[in-house]
A and B are shown apart, each in its own frame.
Chain A
Amino acid sequence: MSSVTQPSQLLSSILQPLDPEERVTILDLGAALPETLAFYSEFRVKLYFADLFVDLPLTVAEEGPGYREQFAALLQLPADVRFDVCLFWDLFNFLDDAAIRALLEVLQPHLHPGTRVHAFGARNRKLRAGGERYGICARDTLSVRYRTQALPGYRPLPQSTLQDLMTDFQFDRSVLLADGRLELLMHFRG
């Protein structure tokens, strides 16, 4: 698995340093990577890692559990946890509309007004397959590890589609990357 680094204009907004006494709770829906942990080791944080990419593709069988039940079982979040930051990476590009809505419904009790959200969308639906593993090297730098095999169920989502699905979130900023991905910064409105 090869890896590169990628500058990010939005990461620093999510990881903005404020009060040194403040403890921050972060949900990362990607893989726990060494560089990410090394980066956070400087801070007072509680990290939740739930790599949903390993469970793709998510489907609903006729008599099986629905998306909500599946996400609740995969995430297993304590009832009282509230996230200050949620890192979705490009997970939305691998879920259908119903799955995205279900995931957000499961997460909403664990968000608070102002929870910051990072995700990747796409400029258009023709963007090449994604699904890389992302880590954090520095406040303004991501690590990108390319998978040897493409993940199933890829359907790149333009920002307009995501905005229609994420009605409880404010889209604050987006950055169009050279490869056609959109880096998105949002927050939960509550």
Chain B
Amino acid sequence: MIGTSIYIKGTVTGEEDLVIQGKVDGTIDLGDFEVSVGESGKVTADITARVVRIDGEVAGDVTGSEKVVIAKSGRVRGNIIAPRVTLEDGAIFKGSIDMDPGDTRQGLAPVRTEKAGATPASNPAKNPEMDLKSG
């Protein structure tokens, strides 16, 4: 555990789970283990681990080989790569999330231009299809 009064600048590696309540600037690589950034934790670093749980503040890229969880008190600015990402109510996130569940059987794909452009012929730019919804 990195306690609340501890400040580490540099690279943190290891072969056990880690809880960060203090401040870390640099890089954190825990491989197959778990990193938890506690509510008082402030991390300005890229984090790599099997599971990353964030209750505090993180500025940096976060890679979780299993999952990343941003808890309700968590604030993250950066990019997340993980097969599963969970955001709890109240969490604040800005950045990108790259998710690939791996065994997905569905996908989303971009529209094809010629289909999306199908509109009434008279003045398509000014006459999009209009629906009236009572609900």
Contacts and interface: CB of A to CB of B under 8 A. Distances in A.
B133 A115 contact: no
Given A7-B135, A47-B96, A112 B110 contact: yes
B132 interface: yes
Q: Is the interface of B mostly helix, strand, loop or mixed?
A: loop
B128 A171 contact: yes
23 contacts: A7-B135, A19-B109, A20-B104, A23-B107, A24-B109, A34-B88, A44-B99, A44-B101, A45-B99, A46-B99, A84-B108, A85-B110, A114-B112, A115-B110, A115-B111, A116-B110, A116-B111, A163-B125, A163-B126, A170-B128, A174-B131, A177-B135, A178-B135
B13 interface: no
Contacts of A170: 116-117, 119, 124-125, 128
B113 A114 contact: yes
A9 B129 CA distance: 12
A116 B116 contact: yes
A113 B105 CA distance: 27
A84 B88 CA distance: 26
B94 A44 contact: no
Interface string A97-120: 000000000000000111110000
A142 interface: no
A15 B108 contact: yes
A44 B100 contact: yes
Interface of A: 7, 9, 15-24, 26, 31-34, 37-38, 40-51, 84-85, 112-116, 159-160, 163, 170-178, 187, 189-190
B46 to A, nearest CB: 16
Contacts of B10: none
Contact of A51 (B94, B124, B126): B94
Given A51-B94, A173-B129, A187-B117, A43 B106 contact: yes
B130 A176 contact: yes
Contact of B128 (A32, A41, A46, A174): A174
Nearest to B77: A76
Interface string B37-80: 00000000000000000000000000000000000000000000
A26 to B, nearest CB: 8
Given A20-B106, A37-B86, A170-B124, A175 B97 contact: no
